[in-house]
Chain A
Amino acid sequence: MDFGLSEQQEMLRKTARDFFKTELPKTLVKELAKEPKGYRPEMWKKMADLGWVGLVLPEQYGGSDASFLDLTILMEEMGRACAPGPFLSTVVLGALTVLELGTEEQKKAILPKLAKGEIVLTMAIAEPHAIYKPDFFEVEAKHAAHHYTVSGTKLFVTDAHVADYIVVATKTKGGVTLFLVDAKSPGVTCTLLPAMFGERQCEVKFDGVKLTRSDMLGGLNRGKDYLERVMHRAAVAKCSEVLGGLEYVLEISVQYAKDRVAFGKPIGTYQAIQHHCANMLNDLDSCRCMTRRAAWMVSEDLPCALEVSLAKAWMGQASRRITALGHEIHGAMAFQHDHDMHLFTKQAVVAEASFGSSAYHGEVVAKELGL
């Protein structure tokens, strides 16, 4: 077994850290959170030029042929930077789906442009009454003559407000089917929801949107099994983002404990504060070990349901503890919007619910235990 990063991974990490340090101060993160779009397309373009948007795509589609594991290392840095923008949506939900399920024609039409940063993708999975439960989908693609007509409401579609294409998971006769929908198609409307974190959540309504068989991804009724793969990838990607964020939280908390003086001494001298720091470190270490392991398994395409759920369920709980202790150490200081701490508190709590809550993944573990 080997827990280390490769030389390339270390390099990618460093490049990303330096990039965000110069390009994305936390003041800008907070500013962007208040803007409707939520990110700067110029920065997106720069990230694409660095090869990040196409990182995991094959060279023939303008990518760099890196592994999913490499991608998660990059996403750790994005989480640390609280980098806004449709990265997870475009790459993990969109690009990998098109790459895996798309026809050659679809791949050629979408992926090279995507890698260049010219188009944004996302995926519409959740519905108001069935967040991650494909068996209960109500958004339906009805087959009639030479086309399919899609109607219904998808919720918590990230970055749909800026997406050029939306992969939508629909109920079809006999299962679940994925379609690649042009976001500007007649009948598609998107409403930006007032969400907590910088991540943009949308409601997307499909009102008799007409599609053909050539818009289908992966064939009729192949969606449900594939969605499980999407959930695995997305859950690990989320864990990686949060992991990067939590690492930063520990750093600023320890720094604050060294700097802040109370009762005549730095507060880090007091064991009450020291133990908060130690507990944060413990949780962080265990999150890192498990997330990396799950990421490696996804990357190697090994059966990973248990490991992904272990990582995600634990991350949900541990991230809440770590951010809570971070606040405890910072006192009133981090309750201010000026401070950076709250960015990560929001990142963590939204991530816990995204792509399967701790309870959802706990149930997966129960099943894997044989219960």
Chain B
Amino acid sequence: MDFRITPEEEAFRKEVKEFLDKELPKDWPGVDPDLYHEDAFDNIHEVSLAMQKKLAAKEWLGLTWPKKYGGHEQPLWKQIILEEEMTYRGSPGLDPYQFVGGMGDLLLDFGTEAQRMKYLPMMVRGEIKGATGMSEPNAGSDLANIQLKAELQGDYFILNGQKTWQSAAHKADLEPVYVRTDPNLLKHRGISIILVELKKTPGITMRPLEMMSGLKAFNEVFYDNVKVPKENLLGEINGGWKIVMAALSHERAYGVMLLINIRRDIDLLVEYCKETKDVDGVPLSKNKMIRNRLADVAIQQEIARNVGYKLNHLALTGGNVVSTANTVKILGGVTTQRVAQVGMQIMGMYGQLGPVGGNWRQTDPVKDKWTRLGGRMKHLYLSTVCNTIAAGTTEVARNAAAGALGCPREPKPAPKK
């Protein structure tokens, strides 16, 4: 056992922090580990594109990828530190759909040489944005139930059907789309993955879906006879389920990201409570109930974060990350929700205030005068609702954990023909 931080790690962390101090707009509130804001507002999206370019110039995109695809062949711990620091600051630019267990990893694991040579260098140069095409109206937790149909006709797949709850799709250039290539096989067996260039391909229409937080970062995506070259098949035909599993386990970072970003909220709440006086003139930080609640969420966050370190350790040493990633995912969801609840309680009536539509770059000097912490708690409370749902619900994660413990499986319903 050894929990020491090496001087190299410290030095790199410092470098990333300095980079962010320099490059992020001074008023950057950094609220979002999941890119909702940058996808929802053009004036925030611009910052994200600019940061992506700056990261590329730093050679921090594709940090661990092989040089022949434009990558930089750096050790994984650097990537982890980069993710951590950017997430704590809520900085955009390190598109998770490409760089944090996203398409990059899938291409490296399953892509053809031609696919890698074509797409990875674009990502490394910071030229494109990604998304992921998984959920459908009837395939959320039951992901294997996806129905979007892809038929091979000559040199093309023809795609017909619908995806939904697609974060970032309206800004994305490229995404892996999870499709059904054989409806006659058992549902896990007839799935394939096709890389789709969203902006360049005719037949795709999108309808923005407004989230409960007021942000428009979700999309319904409709495919109407969309032609995609057959060389865009990722992995084997009807062999997509294996990639689904890999993609989900690559989402190791998701729970950790939630937990790091929420630390900033805790830190801000602590500052807020030290600065804000109650009616009796005593700072909120001296109120026993508030101390206790803040300590409670800080304990939960630190504990979960520590499991996150274990996850990093497993990733770095090539261990099996699946079960621990699952734990961190669950912890990330429930912990962020708990912080948001406590934050709203501390703010009281003020908790409900925040910039209209959630665009913090467009505040109103009159209306937003009474907003506290930039309306962060309002947004946090509303956006964390999905943290126990996105990237696999807590219930599905618990099913998986129980399976790993050896609990007997529920008898399967008779196969659908």
Please list the residues of chain A having a beta carbon within 8 angstroms of any beta carbon in chain B. 1-6, 69, 250, 254, 257-258, 265-266, 268-271, 273-275, 277-279, 281-282, 285-286, 289-290, 292-293, 296-297, 310, 313-314, 359, 362-363, 365-366, 369-371
Select which of B2, B408, B410 is within 8 A of A2 by beta carbon.
Answer: B2
User: With a CB–CB cut-off of 8 A, which chain B residues contact A314?
Assistant: 299-300, 303
A-contacting residues, B286-304, CB 8 Å: 286, 291-292, 294-296, 298-300, 302-304
Contacting residues, chain A, for B286 (C-beta < 8 A): 371
Render B249-286 as a binary contact track against A, CB cut-off 8 A, 1 for contact: 00000000000000000100010011000000000011
Using CB atoms and an 8 Å cutoff, list the residues of chain B in contact with chain A. 1-5, 266, 270, 273-274, 285-286, 291-292, 294-296, 298-300, 302-304, 306-307, 309-310, 312-313, 324, 327, 330-331, 395, 397-403, 405-411
With both chains docked as a complex, state the minimum distance between the C-beta of B123 and any C-beta of chain A, in angstroms.
Answer: 29
* Alpha-carbon distance between A4 and B316 when the two chains are bound, in angstroms: 13
A363 touches B291 (CB 8 A): yes
Shortest CB distance A188–B (Å): 39
* Other A-B pairs, 8, CB within 8 Å; known A277-B407, A286-B306, A371-B274: A5-B1, A274-B407, A277-B402, A282-B330, A293-B3, A310-B299, A362-B295, A365-B299
Inter-chain residue pair count (beta carbon < 8 A):
139
Inter-chain contact A281/B401, CB cutoff 8 Å: yes
- The interface residues of chain A, by DSSP majority, are classed as helix
Which of A1, A69, A254, A277 has the most B CB atoms < 10 Å from its CB? A1
Tell which of A296, A313, A359 touches B1, judged by Cβ atoms closer than 8 Å: A296
Nearest neighbor of A2 in chain B, beta-carbon distance = B2
Asked if A281 and B327 make an inter-chain contact with CB atoms under 8 angstroms apart, the answer reads yes
Measured in the bound complex, the distance between the Cα atoms of B402 and A250 in whole Å is 11
Choose one: A6, A250, A365; the contact of B295 (CB below 8 Å): A365
Closest Cβ–Cβ distance, residue A146 to chain B (whole Å): 47
Min CB distance B367 to A, Å, is 32
Whether A281 and B405, one on each chain, are in contact in the complex, defined by CB atoms closer than 8 angstroms, is: yes
State whether B402 touches A371 (Cβ < 8 A).
no
Q: Is the CB of A269 within 8 A of B407?
A: yes
Question: Which partner residue on chain A sits nearest B4 by CB separation?
Answer: A1
Q: CA–CA, A289 to B303, complex, Å?
A: 8
CA distance A268 to B407 in the complex (A): 5
Residues of A near B5 (CB, < 8 A) are: 1
Contact A313 B399, beta carbon cutoff 8 Å: no
* Shortest beta-carbon distance from B268 to chain A in Å: 12
A371 CB to closest chain B CB (Å) equals: 4
- Residue of B1, B304, B397 touching A6 (CB-CB under 8 A): B1
